Amino acid sequence: MKDVYTFDELNDHHDYAREHVVNGQRLHGGFDAGGNYIPPRTRSRAEALANWQRKLEAAGGSLFEADASLLTGPRMPNSEQQRLLLANGLTRPFWNGLTITGKIEARGRVLAEMQFPDLQQLVVEDISRMALGHLNKGLLVAHGIDEGGEPDKGIGGHDVMWFVARDLVIPPGTHPDVQPPESISRPEAGKRWMPEIAQPYEMFLSFLMNLLMIEFRAEIGFASTQQVLRAPELFTDHRAAAEDAAEIIERIRTDETIHVWGLRLVLGELRQLHVRTVDGGTMPAAPLIDRFWAGLVSWAVHEQPVLAAQTAYPALREQILDSGRGDALLDDFCKLADAGALPA
Ligand SMILES: [Fe+2]
Ligand SMILES: [Fe+2]
């Protein structure tokens, strides 16, 4: 079974029967002869992940656990609230949401551009025939280009896909530009979660686990956005365009599958291995990973969504009160809020 892949293999594409073009904008990936969407850079990458997963399972390991319990927490606005706002002509919150998501996706390109530490220096066992040993040999580059595209070639990645979907339903120039928060990872402020290992490795592992959490929870946004775009009562004068926009989101979701898979795989591999500690010894990696992940789950699934929802509320309240229906609309909006989403 093949378990060593070159950079070019991990970044090569299927032969597409048709390129992915929407509204004149070239986007990544393509379609097979049957019209099915095929994600970019997956010809060998998918086979490689499947082979490494088989090896991991044969050795008694498994993909790192990540399930629907990570998909909870309040959202502001949730999809019912968003639909209410749009039905009342308030398109700005939806426009802002899609714009911010696209800009966060664009930042993912850092995965293709940054130099990450060599995990072989940290891990005791040979990782050259594992997904772990391929992170810096094409896996992270493929992932990063999926997110941020190839602007120099005019090929849009996830960032541009969100913008194209947005522009299909809300005319460009309708609203002022918005910027995402500086970081959506857990702010660590110098706190060490894995003091047993050298800091650059802790930072890299923290980065990978934050990325898995963000990628996994992105599903909440895909589902909510699609519900809004597919709501029959909305965008009634351009339903077909709204359905096309929902399809673009579906393609992004399809692309994200291999990202979540790859991250669960490398973390699953790492849990089976040993790492070198700062005091010159070695220890199993599993307790370090599990400790960090438990803390991240409590922040990302329980604390952060409440905080984010409550922080988002005042600006939404202002926009609602400034609209024609003011108080009555705000009342309806608040009745639809998720538990914990409204400030006390
Ligand atoms: Fe993405
Ligand atoms: Fe992703």
Contact 206, 292 (CB under 8 A): yes
Question: What is the whole-number distance in angstroms between the Cα of residue 318 and the centre of ligand 2?
Answer: 33
What pLDDT sits at residue 324?
Answer: 78
What pLDDT sits at residue 190?
Answer: 75
What pLDDT sits at residue 297?
Answer: 96
Which parts of the chain have pLDDT scores under 70?
A: none
What pLDDT sits at residue 343?
Answer: 87
pTM above 0.85, yes or no: yes
Question: What is the whole-number distance in angstroms between the Cα of residue 237 and the centre of ligand 2?
Answer: 32
Beta bridge partners, 155, equal 150
Residues bordering ligand 1, an ion, CB closer than 5 Å? 105, 147, 158
Give first-to-last CA distance, the chain, whole Å. 58
Please report where in the chains the tokens 């003091």 appear, as a residue: 195
What pLDDT sits at residue 329?
Answer: 95
What pLDDT sits at residue 325?
Answer: 83
Question: What is the whole-number distance in angstroms between the Cα of residue 163 and the centre of ligand 1?
Answer: 13
Question: What is the whole-number distance in angstroms between the Cα of residue 23 and the centre of ligand 1?
Answer: 20
Integer CA distances (angstroms), 333 to 74, 77, 122, in order: 14, 9, 51
Please report where in the chains the tokens 């072989």 appear, as a residue: 120
